[in-house]
Structures are given as C-alpha cells and as structure tokens.
C-alpha cells in the first residue's frame, strides 16, 4: 500500500511529492494531464519569485522559500531558471509613500531584506522606468524563475527519490470507509493509501464537495502577455502601487507582462479553458508600456490565461481537509503560490509525517469554519470583469 497519494502534479503537488519521497515515503502522484500544462496555474504562471507585499500570514513560508530559491537548481539537480534580479515595487505619487514606508518597516522587522529607495537609487536598479517615480521598495534577493521548468525539476527530483507519477490519469473520487479517507478511485480501480493530499488547484471541490467538504476558493483566470525579444534593459521584476502590473524581462529578452487582468473561463468538452479578452490585452499592454517605455519597441507575441484557485481571504488553505480524516489540502494560492512552492512542499511533507508545523498555522484549513457563509457565497459567485490589482 502507498503511504501517500498526491492528486495534482503542478508545482505544489510536485514539491510535496519531492519532499515526501526524499524523506522515504512511498508516494504516487496522479495528474489528469501532465505537470504544468495548459490551463493549469503552474503552466500559465508569471514565475515571479517575490517576498515583499504579501499578507503577513504568508511571511514564515515566503521567508523560508526565499532562502531556498538560490540553491534550488543544485538541490533538485535540474534547472528552475531562477535569476536573482531583485523585485522593485514602485510608487508614482508622494501620497502613497507613507503607506509603503510603513509596510517596508513591518517586513524588515519580520526578517526580510528590503529597503525603501530614493528615486535616484530606484533608477539605478531599473533605468528603463519612465520618469516621475518618487520611490520604491526593493528586495534584492527576489527575482524570477521558469514555472514549467521548476515544476519539471520538482517532479524529476521526486521520481529520483522513488515517487511514481501517473499522468493522464484523472482521480474520480476519494474513497471513504469507516469515517476515514482510505484512498482514491480512478474509474473502477480503487487505490489505497494511508494519506491523500489534494494539490488540485481550481479542481479541488470536485473531489471534496461530494463528501461534504467545500474549500472556499473560486476560479480566477489571470492573463499573461509575452513579447518578442529585445535587448536586455530590465533586471528586476517590477510591480507598482495602484497599477495592475507585473513586468519582467526574461533572460532570452522577452518582456513577460501580467498583473491580474482577467481572461474568460470557458467550459469545453468537460474541461476548462481560458479565452483571452481584447480589453484585457489592451489594458495590460498600456500599463506596461507606460511604466517601461522600451516595452513598446516589441510586439505581443503570445497571450494566454491560466486557472488559479483564489481563496476567499487571499491566502492559501493548507492542512487537514475539514471532516475528511486522512486527507489534506494545499490549495487557494491566489496568484502567488509559485514563490512559496519549496516551503509549502517541505511543510506539507512534515505535516503529513505527523509533525506540528508552526509555519502553517496562519494559513491552516482550521479557519474555514470561522468564515462568514454569506461572504464566502458572495465571493464564489463574483466574477471579476475588471482586473484584480495583484502583486504577482
């Protein structure tokens, strides 16, 4: 019998698989498609590796992850594409400086290497920015990585340590017996396991709701734009106060532009897909070319959307699935789970192994019961047509 079945082979499921297999557990990952393919979040992701600007409940995980990213290629013996160019969160009006200053202070007290830059210092870090920037928060240890290669690296390392992957295999249900989850079903086949971990992103409630457990997440489908390659002009990743923007330049020269602009989710042949909206493409392009004018020297080469599980309160749910003894969830990463992935994998592996994991207490599933059902209901039915200004 398997120790652990993991459902979902995205960056979160594959990181959990790696950490569990490394500790000697017999693990199998079930993935309905393949790790990090469309329209999953790990395929679509902007790959920003950013500590700053997060909800304090994510601080323990983000700090641990930031510490691990620089050595992850060596640890996994495979390339993640991590580049430590720093992250710059810029301010365009004096009125916004005070709030940013206070946030920087809080994050520094939490242990983050972050500083508030004067305009001249900000332009030294990112000379390509338009004029008029009045300050910026800078985290030099942040950067970017390639989400598809990172997911593949975790999956390969998991398999190196003995984890098995069953790709193109959709899990149809959780098997419950004598008040406990005993495994999963794939068609008529039952697979027994001591523990089942769901790293199933937007698809989670299809498995848990039939057993009475609904995780308060909703489907979001943020857009990404990729330009033609240009000369190297932008080292840090960029976001800006009150702007729906995340902007970076890849090592191959393309600008990669996000920021929460929505695509439309369409159901097709029993699967979900994202349809790009012209207004989102135009809006995202306008912001990026305004903040970094040299972006306009390029043209948009590709655009896409990806399915991300947005949690009702903006931070993930990680822990025992309420009412489903023997099952755990790690879902609801709300547009910023990629950076956390090394720490989430470690923490969930420890939790499944029976440890008390203090880093997970603030993002625990235990808070689900305390949420106001009216707020949860309204949240799940809201479908944003205007961009959610997120930091990616």
Residue 357's φ and ψ, nearest 5 degrees, are -110, 100
| Least distance CB 63 / ligand FAD (angstroms) | 14
**Cα–Cα distance between 191 and 189 in angstroms, integer?**
7
Alpha helices in the chain (DSSP H): 11-22, 41-44, 59-68, 72-76, 97-109, 119-125, 147-160, 204-208, 278-291, 337-352, 373-381
Check binding of 42 to ligand FAD (CB under 6 A): yes
In the window 183-242, what residues touch ligand FAD (CB under 6 A)? 199-201, 203, 207, 222, 224
Q: How far is CA 308 from CA 198, 267, 313, in A?
A: 15, 15, 14
| Least distance CB 118 / ligand FAD (angstroms) | 27
> Which region, left, alpha or beta, applies to residue 168 given φ > 0 means left and ψ of -120 to 50 means alpha?
left
Name the one range near ligand FAD by CB under 6 A: 24-32, 294-302, 345-353, 375-383.
24-32
Check binding of 87 to ligand FAD (CB under 6 A): no
Contacts of 209 (CB under 8 A, 6+ apart): none
In the window 313-372, what residues touch ligand FAD (CB under 6 A)? 333, 335-339
Collapse the DSSP code of 135 into the 3-class scheme (helix H, G, I; strand E, B; otherwise coil) and give the result.
Answer: strand
Name the one range near ligand FAD by CB under 6 A: 19-27, 44-52, 56-64, 319-327.
44-52
Nearer to ligand FAD, 42 or 227 (CB): 42
| Least distance CB 133 / ligand FAD (angstroms) | 21
| Least distance CB 187 / ligand FAD (angstroms) | 12
| Least distance CB 219 / ligand FAD (angstroms) | 10
| Least distance CB 122 / ligand FAD (angstroms) | 21
Residue 285's φ and ψ, nearest 5 degrees, are -65, -40
Nearer to ligand FAD, 32 or 249 (CB): 32
Query: Where do we find the tokens 């305390």?
Result: 370
Query: Where do we find the tokens 């979001």?
Result: 220
| Least distance CB 341 / ligand FAD (angstroms) | 7
3-state helix, strand, coil in the chain (%, to 5): 35, 30, 35
**Cα–Cα distance between 278 and 374 in angstroms, integer?**
33
| Least distance CB 335 / ligand FAD (angstroms) | 5
In the window 142-181, what residues touch ligand FAD (CB under 6 A)? 147, 170-171
Contacts of 113 (CB under 8 A, 6+ apart): 139, 140, 141
Q: Cis bond leading into 39, ω under 30°?
A: yes
Which position among 20, 27, 40, 283 is part of the footprint of ligand FAD (CB under 6 A)? 40
Name the one range near ligand FAD by CB under 6 A: 33-41, 109-117, 152-160, 275-283.
33-41
Nearer to ligand FAD, 119 or 170 (CB): 170
Nearer to ligand FAD, 134 or 219 (CB): 219
Name the one range near ligand FAD by CB under 6 A: 39-47, 93-101, 123-131, 378-386.
39-47
Nearer to ligand FAD, 85 or 306 (CB): 306
**Cα–Cα distance between 391 and 343 in angstroms, integer?**
19
| Least distance CB 311 / ligand FAD (angstroms) | 10
* Tokens of residue 16, six digits: 């959990």
In the window 243-282, what residues touch ligand FAD (CB under 6 A)? 246, 258
Nearer to ligand FAD, 125 or 224 (CB): 224
For the CA atoms of 120, 122, 125, 128, what is the dihedral angle to 10 degrees? -90
Check binding of 284 to ligand FAD (CB under 6 A): no
Nearer to ligand FAD, 216 or 258 (CB): 258
> Which region, left, alpha or beta, applies to residue 306 given φ > 0 means left and ψ of -120 to 50 means alpha?
beta
Hey, CA dihedral for 86, 89, 92, 95, is it positive or negative? Answer: negative
| Least distance CB 221 / ligand FAD (angstroms) | 7
Which position among 2, 5, 6, 7 is part of the footprint of ligand FAD (CB under 6 A)? 7
Binding site for ligand FAD (CB under 6 A): 7-13, 30-33, 40-42, 44-48, 147, 170-171, 199-201, 203, 207, 222, 224, 246, 258, 306, 308, 333, 335-339, 392
């Amino acid at each position: 019998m398997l120790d652990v079945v993991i459902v979902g082979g995205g960056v979160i499921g594959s990181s959990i698989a790696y950490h569990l297999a490394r500790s000697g557990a017999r693990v199998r990952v079930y993935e309905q498609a393949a790790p990090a393919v469309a329209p999953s979040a790990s395929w679509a992701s902007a790959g920003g590796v950013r500590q700053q600007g997060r909800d304090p409940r994510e601080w323990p995980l983000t700090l641990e992850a930031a510490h691990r990213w620089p050595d992850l290629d060596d640890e996994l013996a495979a390339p993640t594409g991590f580049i430590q160019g720093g992250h710059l969160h810029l301010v365009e009006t004096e009125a916004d400086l005070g709030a940013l200053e206070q946030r920087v202070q809080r994050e520094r007290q939490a242990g983050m290497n972050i500083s508030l830059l004067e305009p001249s210092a900000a332009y030294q870090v990112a000379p390509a920015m338009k004029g008029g920037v009045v300050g910026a928060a800078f985290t030099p240890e942040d950067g970017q990585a390639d989400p598809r290669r990172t997911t593949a690296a975790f999956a390969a390392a998991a398999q190196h340590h003995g984890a098995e992957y069953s790709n193109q295999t959709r899990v149809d249900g959780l098997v419950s017996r004598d008040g406990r989850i005993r495994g999963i079903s794939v068609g008529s086949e039952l697979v027994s396991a001591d523990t089942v971990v769901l790293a199933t992103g937007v698809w989670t409630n299809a498995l848990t709701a039939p057993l009475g457990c609904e995780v308060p997440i909703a489907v979001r489908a943020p857009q990404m734009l990729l330009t033609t390659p240009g000369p190297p002009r932008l080292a840090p990743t960029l976001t800006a106060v009150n702007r729906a923007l995340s902007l970076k330049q890849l090592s191959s020269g393309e600008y990669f532009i996000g920021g929460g602009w929505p695509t439309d989710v369409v159901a097709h042949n029993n699967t979900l897909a994202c349809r790009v909206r012209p207004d989102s493409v135009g809006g995202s392009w306008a912001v990026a070319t305004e903040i970094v004018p040299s972006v306009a020297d390029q043209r948009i080469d590709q655009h896409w959307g990806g399915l991300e599980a947005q949690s009702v309160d903006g931070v993930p749910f990680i822990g025992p699935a309420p009412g489903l003894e023997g099952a755990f969830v790690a879902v609801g990463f709300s547009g910023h789970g990629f950076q956390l992935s090394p720490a989430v994998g470690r923490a969930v592996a420890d939790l499944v192994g029976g440890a008390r994991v203090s880093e997970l207490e603030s993002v625990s599933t235990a808070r689900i019961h305390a949420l106001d059902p009216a707020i949860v209901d309204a949240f799940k039915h809201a479908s944003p047509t205007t961009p959610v200004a997120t930091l990616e």
